[in-house]
Amino acid sequence: MNVSRLVKRAKRGNKAALVQLIMAEKDAYYRLAFTYTGNQHDALEAMDEMIVKVYENISQLKDNDAFFCWSKTILVNTCKAMIRKQKWLVLTDDLSTVEGNRPSTKDPYEQSEQYMVIENLLQHINDHQKEAIQLKYFHDLDYQTIAEMTNVSVGTVKSRIFNGLKKLREYYGGDELE
């Protein structure tokens, strides 16, 4: 798939090209939205809003190759706006239903237990640190992308991750976390 070519077509009003771009990353969009909203309904609603915003604003995208980063930033901002509007924030609630976000092991009981430990640990750090750690390790995003999505500098992202992991190590009682 040639992202740049599809974005050019989408900018000219080709809805099929935009749908193809969105569908290529639909699972990643869903996992990202679910991380912020904590439930399937709100995650899907955020994705719907993101698609509308992308469609309405795609002409503003300057670097066609940055489409996915740009659209994920829109999704994150949409999720945050929904959370502010609803006056609640759940970053880790029930993530175990999202495929790909649990520690990978063969035994589902061990996997579930490990996930519960991770979820419990994340409750001991602040929301900014939790967000940065989740984006880095649950969604495998690089520092620059996280910085763009959260509207902070790369240094701030690194600091949040470092300090969050440090707190987790202290709470966990060792250096096992990396």
Architecture (CATH level 2) of domain 99-178: Orthogonal Bundle (1.10)
16, 95, 112 from 39: Cα distances, Å: 28, 8, 18
CB 106 within 8 A of CB 64: no
Question: Residue 91 has what pLDDT?
Answer: 43
pLDDT confidence bin for 122, thresholds 50/70/90: confident
Stretch 117-140: mean pLDDT: 85
CB 46 within 8 A of CB 102: no
The whole-angstrom separation of Cα 25 and Cα 126 is: 29
Would you say domain 1-90 falls under CATH 2.120.10.30? no
- pTM higher than 0.85 for the full model? no
Question: Residue 108 has what pLDDT?
Answer: 52
Stretch 109-118: mean pLDDT: 62
pLDDT in tens, 23-51: 999 999 999 999 888 889 999 999 999 99
pLDDT confidence bin for 102, thresholds 50/70/90: very low
